[in-house]
Amino acid sequence: MGVIWESNIGTFLLVTVVLAGGAGYMAGRSAALGWSNPIAVVAYSAALACASRFIHMALFNGTLLTPHYWLVDFIVILVLSLIGFRLTRTNQMARQYPWLYERTGPFTWRTKSPSQPAA
């Protein structure tokens, strides 16, 4: 038993990172596309962490009600969810309000200066 993964790293990567993390990324995108608050992403990530623990228990003989492993799953899923949320929100702000905002990086945007022409 490891500190981060319960049985082996392959199971952790498959279930927590790829399956639940991918679903978390899409949940973050969905929350951003619906102009939801980032707090909704936390709730979605908590539900996905519960689902991840169930898959670990049902398919790979892991534990279901272990707070430590649930918290690890939750943190991994939350990080991927917030990445999806922020990437999508940055694209939204730059694409839907080009006269107000410009994209400065994959996760950030800024207000355009008044002297700058719209693209």
CB–CB of 29/84 below 8 Å?
yes
What percent of the chain clears pLDDT 70, i.e. is strictly above it? 93
Question: Considering the domain boundaries, does residue 77 fall inside one?
Answer: yes
Distance CA 23, CA 5 (A): 19
How far does CA 39 lie from the centroid of its chain? 12
pLDDT at residue 35 in the model = 94
Question: Considering the domain boundaries, does residue 99 fall inside one?
Answer: no
Note the pLDDT tens digit of each residue in 35-93: 999 999 999 999 999 999 999 999 998 888 889 999 999 999 999 999 999 999 999 99
How many Cα atoms occupy the beta-carbon half-sphere of 42 within 13 Å? Answer: 3
pLDDT at residue 67 in the model = 92
Q: Please give the model's pTM, rounded to 2 decimal places.
A: 0.88
Domain that holds residue 13: 9-87
Place 6 in a pLDDT band, splitting at 50, 70 and 90: confident
**Position 117 pLDDT exceeds 80:** no
Question: Considering the domain boundaries, does residue 76 fall inside one?
Answer: yes
Dihedral sign, Cα of residue 55, residue 59, residue 64, residue 67: negative
- CB burial of 28-39 (b: ≥16 within 10 Å; e: otherwise) equals bbbbbeeeeeee
pLDDT at residue 2 in the model = 63
* Domain tally, the chain: 1
pLDDT at residue 8 in the model = 85
